[in-house]
Every structure is written in C-alpha cells, then in structure tokens.
Amino acid sequence: MREILSQLSEYVWGVWRFRWIGLVIIWLVAMGGWTFVSLTPEKYLATARIDVDTNTILRPLLRGLAIQPDVDQRIALMSRTLLSRPNLEKLMRMADMDLYIKTEAGKDKMLDEILRSITLSGDRRNTSLYSVSFKHENRDIAKKVVQSLITIFVESALGDKRKDSSGAQEFLDRQIADYEQRLVDAERRLADFKQRNVGVLPGETGGYYTRLESEKSQLAIAQLQLKELGTRRDELNRQIEGEEPVFLSSQIENSPEIRALEGRIAALEGALDGLLLKYTNRHPDVVQANGMIKVLRAQKRDEEARVQATMPEQFSGLSDSPVYQQMRSMLAETEATEAELRTRVEEYQKRVNELEEKVDNIPLIESELQQLDRDYGVISAQHKTLLSRRESALISENVGLQANDVKFRVIDPPFVPQRPNEPNKVLMNAVVFVLAIGVGLGSALLLSLFRPVITTRDTLAQITGLPVLGSVMLISSPFEKKRALINNLMFFSLFGFLAVAYVGVSVFHGLEFFITGVEDVFKAVFV
C-alpha cells in the first residue's frame, strides 16, 4: 500500500510540474470543442400521427366472396412509394424548400437530405396508427414538411384507389392471357414428348424397370415351355423312328432262339464273375469265358436280324396301327406348338433387347417427364388461381365503388417542440469540459514520464542501488515563496476562468432556448 501511495504521489508531482502546459492544452481543447458545439446546427423534430381505418360494414359480409385487400400491406407499400422522387419534389415545393435551390446538383442534394430526414413508422400494438416525423434546422419548414406528407399520403391513397382497381383488373387479364399461352405450350411439349417416347414412358403397368422385369419373366417362361416341348418332340421321334421301335421290341424278345442265347450269356456272365473272384483278367479261363460271351452276343444280334427279316408283313402294317397314328398326331401337334412358342420367344427377346438398349436413357426420360408434368401442373394451377382472382376482383371493384375501404383521420396534427431535438448542446459542452480536463492532465502526465525527476529517497535508492543516508531540504527565500504564490494564484485563477466560461456557455444555450420560446409565444399571441 505504501508503494502504491508513493507511486501516486510521484504521478501527482509530475503533473504539477507541467501544470502550465496542461492548463494551456485544457484551454485549447475546451475552446475548440465549445466552438464546434456552438457551430453545430440544431435540428427540430416535427411529428404527427394518423389513423388508417380499414374497417367497413361490407367487409364481414363479403368475407370469402371477394378479395379482401391487405390494407396494412398496401399502406406499408404506399409508405415506401410515398418517398419516390416525384413525391419528394412535390413535397419540396409544398414546403417552399425549393426557394433555396439554384442548381440541379443542389436539388439532388436537397432531395437526399429530405429522404434521410423522413421517418415513417407504424404502431405494433395498433396497426391502424402510423407516425410521420421529419428533422430540419428550421422549425417552420419541419412542420410544413410533415403537414405536406400527410396531405400527399391521403391524396395518394384516395386518389389512386380506383385507378389501382382498374389497373389490377388489366394486370390480371394480361397475366391470364400469358398463362393461357404458357399452358398451351406446356401441353404441346408434354404431348410431343410422350409421342417420342411412347414405348418407354411409365404407364398403368409400372415404370421402365417393372416392364423390363415383366418381359424377362415372360421370356424365361416361354423358353422353359419351348425346352419342354423340344424334349417331348425328341422322345416321340425316338419312339416312332428309333432303331428298336417300341411296337416291335416285344415280338423280338419272345423268339425262343434269342431267349436261349440270352440264358447262355447270363450263365457265362455268372461263371465269369466267379472266376474274377479268384483270378485276374489275364487268366486263361477268364479270357476263354469273355471270348464265349462275345460269340454268343454276336449270334444274338444275327438272330434278331433274322427274326426281323422273317416278319416283313408285320412292319408293313405298322402305319395302320391306331397307336402309331395317335403318336404321329401328337408329334405334329407338338411341333406346331413348338413353332408358336419359338415365335413368342423371339418376340419377347426382341422386347427385352429394345428395353435394355434404352437403359442409359431411361433416367433422363423419366426426369424430363417429371419436369414437364411439374411445369404443366404449376402453370395450370396458377392459371386457375388467376381466373378465380379475376372473378373476385370484379366483385371487389363493385364493392369499392359503393363504399370507402380506407378512411384517414389525423390523430395528432404536426407538432414541433420549442427545444431542438438534437443536438443537446448543454450535455455536449459538459462532455467537452470533462474531455479537455482529461486531455490536459494526460498530457502533463506523459511529459512527466518522458522527463522524470527524483523526488523521494526511495526512488533514489531504487535507481542507484545504494543506501541513502539522508536528505537535505531546499529552503526558499521570501522572494521565491512570494513568486511561487503568485504563480499558483494565476494558475487557479485561469482554471477558475475556464469553469466560469463553461458555465457561461451552458447558460448561453439555455437562454437561447428561452428566447426562442418567448418569440414563439409572442408570435402566437400578437401575430
């Protein structure tokens, strides 16, 4: 704590050393700031409030039948259009502000200033109340501008109402004609697209992939049926035209010679099996048994040929057999059905190939179809909406001819307070005074830091690193004491004059406000 107090005392002593420089800076900053505040133009805020009555007797009766115009939105839109350049020029003439303009550049500058100074706002709690405000250096001009704004506001609403109705009707007619043409174009594009992709578009049977799977399934079924018929046809041919027809095999097997040979072959094969259990294939008995079996089988084939040759009359009468004729009929029917199925398989295969060739384009085609359908649906819906709005607009226009939909009433007439709204010069003068003192003290402190001196024994010991045994005080002469006293009196006198100057500036601005109020009262009473 002692070190902090010592440091603070050094700072205070340093500021005191350069007090004259700090005082000069305080005076310069204060005089400059007060001059700036005095030259800053004052602006008066003129305000007014109007009530926009949007309630009518006919509105509840016509709800749902006629278009109920969103009056709040229309007023907000009108508020924005109210500040258009033609209206601003009209406002400037009504407030006599064009008397101070001599060039086009000056006119543009004046219009920009008017636009920035106008404020239009609504009441959040009551949507029918609107506030109009304007800032200007001249109280009379500010009041005229607000009054002119109210006049233009009312004239724009009431004067343009019927014009807006007819204009809206014409606009709807143009939009309907435009959407009719767009609807025709969309229908034509959709029809052309369907004609170009008649075999690929999704229909009642599903989309492309569903159709492809269906065709592949039908192709597989047809191929399976064709394979079954081919097997049936081959079996019938084998039974009818084979080497051993089924109709003759029973007669050959009943021959005594052939049956005897088959018995001997079977006996030798049994004996051969017994020999193979004891000997190898090269044993003489095994070789002899195999040779005898081959000889007997050759005799059997010769005997079968002889039997077939001795029964030609039986073979010649085969074509007259009912069973044979039935099998020939079944073969012909099978071959005809097979030909039909082969044609069907070829057709299914052709369809599958055509669909598979278009697999890369299918997503694009379906996407384009969806886009065309969506465009057509949007245009058709908008066209129907416009037709409905046109009929409702006709009813609304007839209603507007018989009843005023919007009524204006001035709640608070244009009002300008006696005191300027901005700037608050008394507060600004106080800020300048405090700022000047701060800048002066800060400047003196900085100078003391740049040009330091040793004022205490602790500081000397800290700087030199040596012990301080004692100190010697400076004893001023009476003349030096008198001169120091005069300097201090002059310093505090000058600082006091600065405070008096601050009070005088504040009182001056207060008297200016008072004089302005007296003049207004005098004008109101005697003029």
Mean pLDDT lowest among 130-139, 186-195, 299-308: 299-308
Q: Specify the pLDDT at position 327.
A: 77
pLDDT of 2-52, one tens digit each? 667 766 777 777 778 888 888 899 899 999 988 888 888 778 888 888 876
* 3-state per-residue secondary structure call for 405-437: CCEEEEEEEEECCCCCCECCHHHHHHHHHHHHH
pTM above threshold 0.85: no
pLDDT of 122-138, one tens digit each? 776 766 777 888 888 88
Q: What domains can be seen in the chain, in order of their start residue?
A: 2-40+423-526 (no CATH), 44-171+403-415 (3.30.1890.10), 208-357 (no CATH)
Answer yes or no: is pLDDT of 151 > 70.
Answer: yes
pLDDT of 449-460, one tens digit each? 788 776 666 766
Q: Mean pLDDT over residues 210-225, rounded?
A: 84
Q: Specify the pLDDT at position 276.
A: 76
Contact 146, 46 (CB under 8 A): yes
Answer yes or no: is pLDDT of 150 > 60.
Answer: yes
Give the pLDDT band of residue 205 (cuts 50, 70, 90).
low
Q: Mean pLDDT over residues 323-352, rounded?
A: 83
In 3D space, the residue among 386, 408, 402 whose CA is nearest the CA of residue 67 turns out to be: 386
Answer yes or no: is pLDDT of 71 > 50.
Answer: no
Give the pLDDT band of residue 309 (cuts 50, 70, 90).
low
CA angle 375, 381, 383 (to 5 degrees): 100
Q: Specify the pLDDT at position 244.
A: 43
- Could you give the 3-state DSSP secondary structure of residue 470? coil
Q: Mean pLDDT over residues 428-437, rounded?
A: 89
Contact 319, 329 (CB under 8 A): no
Q: What token pair was written down for 499?
A: 């405070």
Q: Specify the pLDDT at position 58.
A: 39
Q: Mean pLDDT over residues 302-326, rounded?
A: 63
Mean pLDDT lowest among 170-179, 334-343, 463-472, 477-486: 463-472
Give the pLDDT band of residue 204 (cuts 50, 70, 90).
very low
Alpha carbons 438 and 30: distance in angstroms, whole number: 11
Contact 495, 24 (CB under 8 A): no
pLDDT of 468-523, one tens digit each? 766 667 676 787 778 878 888 888 888 889 888 888 888 876 665 545 554 554 44
Contact 358, 201 (CB under 8 A): no
- The mean pLDDT value of the chain amounts to 75
Q: Specify the pLDDT at position 111.
A: 85
Which of 176-190, 293-307, 355-369, 461-475: highest mean pLDDT?
A: 176-190
Q: Specify the pLDDT at position 57.
A: 36
Q: Specify the pLDDT at position 9.
A: 75
Contact 146, 414 (CB under 8 A): yes
Crossing angle for the helix pair 161-196 and 362-402, to the nearest 10 degrees: 160
Q: Which residue has the higher pLDDT, 156 or 508?
A: 508
Q: Specify the pLDDT at position 524.
A: 44
Q: Specify the pLDDT at position 434.
A: 92
Q: Mean pLDDT over residues 231-252, rounded?
A: 63
pLDDT of 356-405, one tens digit each? 777 667 777 777 877 888 888 888 888 888 888 777 777 666 655 554 55
